[in-house]
Structure 1
Amino acid sequence: MPEFRWSPQPGELEFDAIRASGPGGQNVNKVSNAVHLRFDIRASSLPDGVKARLLGWADQRITSAGVVVIKAQESRSLALNRADAVARLIELVRAAAHVPKARRATKPTYGSQQRRLQGKARRSEVKAGRRRDAD
C-alpha cells in the first residue's frame, strides 16, 4: 500500500505565539516562543475517510468541535516550535490515514483443539487425585 502523502494548505493552519510554561527564568517570562497550532479537521483538504477517522478518535488534542490543538514549546525558537507543531500534525494525520486490516475469524486447527483437550484432561486428573474417596 502506498504511503499517505499530505501537507496542509497555507490557510488551514492557525498559529498563536504564547509564553511557554516550565523552567527557563527570564526568557520564559518575557518571550512568547511557544506555539499553539489549530487545525480545523472538517474545513480541511483531507480525504473524507481520514477526516472521519480523526474525528472518531478519543484524543485529547482534538476538541469536540473537531479542531486539533497542538502545543509546541521544546525549543527557544519560535520558528523551530512552529516546524515541530506542523510535523506533529502531519504525523497525527498520517496515523489516521492508516486503515487497519479487517480481522477474519478463523477456526482453531484440529491439532490445537486436541492439545487443549489433553491439557484439560491432565489438569482434571491432577485435581481428581487431590479428592478424598467417598467409600
Structure 2
Amino acid sequence: MIPPKEDIIKEVTFKTSRSGGKGGQNVNKVSSKVELIFTIANASFLSDDEKSLLEEKLSNRLDSEGNLHIVSQEDRSQLLNKQRTVLKLMNLLTKSLQVQKKRKPTKIPKGVIEKRLMTKSITSSKKENRKKPGLD
C-alpha cells in the first residue's frame, strides 16, 4: 500500500535547474526543471519485501547507487513541476507494487474440441469432392 503524499515528500530530495523549451527569457532566469531523487533502500514506509520487489521491477531505472530519478520540466512553474514529479513517483510505485495473479491453466472444453474436429471433417470432405473421380 502506498503511503500519503506527505510521507513520500519527507523521503525524497529535489534538485532544481534551468530547463529548456518554451518560456522566453523566463527559461534563462528561473530554475523550473525539477529532479526528484528517491532512494528505495532508505524508504521507511516500505517493507523489505516491497523494497526488493521495487528494486527488481525498477532495476533499469535505478542508478548505480540505487536511486530512482524522476524529472519534470513540462511546466514553467517550479512548484507545478515538483508536484508532477511526486505524482509520477506515486504512480510508478503503485504500478510496481502490484503483483500479477498467476494464470491457472484450464482444460479445453469438449464442445470446442468437437466443433474443431467437425469443421476439419467438413473442410476435408469439400476438398475430397473437388477431386476427379478415380478409376478404382
TM (norm. structure 1) is: 0.78
Aligned residue for 1:6? 3
Mark the structure with the bigger radius of gyration: 2
Aligned residue for 1:118? 118
TM (norm. structure 2) is: 0.77
2: CA distance, partners of 1:49 / 1:127: 60
Aligned residue for 1:88? 88
Q: Which runs of 5+ in 1 are unaligned?
A: none
Aligned residue for 1:76? 76
Q: Which runs of 5+ in 2 are unaligned?
A: none
Two-structure CA RMSD over aligned residues (Å): 2.5
Structure with the bigger percentage of helix? 2
User: Matched residue of 2:100: which SS?
Assistant: coil
Runs of 4+ in structure 1 deviating by more than 6 angstroms, as ranges, are: none
Work out whether residues 50 and 93 of structure 1, in 8 Å CA contact, stay in contact via their aligned partners in 2: no
2: CA distance, partners of 1:91 / 1:81: 15
Asked if residue 63 in structure 1 is aligned to residue 69 in structure 2, the reply is no
2: CA distance, partners of 1:30 / 1:130: 82
Identical amino acids, percent of aligned pairs: 36
Aligned length: 131
